[in-house]
Amino acid sequence: MKNKAGDRDIWYFESYYFCLTVTTTVGYGYVYPVTAGGKFFTIFYALFTIPLLVITLADIGRKLANLIGIAETKALGRVKNRHLRFLVVITMTMFSGIVVFLLIPGGIFVALEEFWSFMDGFWYAFATLSTIGFGDIMAGMSYEVGPMGSAASNVYIVAISMYTLLGLTWPATLWVLVADYLYGSKGTEQGQEEGQKTEAVAI
């Protein structure tokens, strides 16, 4: 495997983070396989781990959405309009995620990465959690935290990995909330149509 610069060998934690970017489909492109064996391994590794992560995120998203549903019932139980309730819930979930997973990490990246502006930190966080992974900037590849392969650098790579995995639960939860709303709307419409048909038959 090679890094984008191609000027040095890849150390273990860099390979570990490459595996994470494959599994999460972020794929920055900073590290990539160059041999046929490495490419075949990456293909089979992705075919196995990507569906596993999707299933895991869907399960976590479902559990978090259920917790949000409990809070919604307690806080908005008197609001009868389900569309208004959904709008409030999705707005609060979106805003909370932006603060916790984009704005705060963006500020942390500025403190830890050399020559990064806040926009760079925010941009990197967004590109990571949206799984776009442009690869124009990448955390953990500078010497600001410590030399490549040092204990500090390795801990930083692991911390970024944990941030990525935890952060992906936010869009997963949003997907579940939106799916539940759309499914509920469809069910409501079908129920109304059946009720209208029943009334028509009765008449």
Report how far residue 177's alpha carbon sits from residue 171's, in angstroms, rounded to the nearest whole number. 10
Give mean pLDDT, residues 16-40: 89
Residue 108 makes CB contacts below 8 A (sequence gap 6+) with 121
Tell me the pLDDT band of 32, cut-offs 50, 70 and 90.
confident
Reported as a single tens digit per residue, the pLDDT across 155-187 is 999 999 999 999 999 999 999 999 999 988 654
Q: How far is 123 from 85, CA to CA, in rounded Å?
A: 31
Which residues are bridge partners to 3 per DSSP? Answer: 31
Alpha carbon distance 114, 142 (integer Å): 7
The DSSP secondary structure of 39-87, one letter per residue, reads HHHHHHHHHHHHHHHHHHHHHHHHHHHHHHHHHHHHHHTT---HHHHHH
- How many Cα atoms are found within 13 Å in the side-chain-facing hemisphere of 108? 14
Q: Report d(CA 52, CA 34) in Å as an integer.
A: 25
The whole-angstrom separation of Cα 41 and Cα 24 is: 16
Q: What pLDDT does residue 203 have? A: 47
**Under a CB-based contact definition with an 8 Å cutoff, are residues 156 and 112 in contact?**
yes
Q: In this predicted structure, what is the pLDDT of residue 131?
A: 93
In the chain, pLDDT over 70 holds for what percent of residues? 83
- How far is the C-alpha of 90 from the C-alpha of 132, rounded, in Å? 22
DSSP SS3 for 130: coil
User: What is the mean predicted confidence (pLDDT) over 119-145?
Assistant: 87
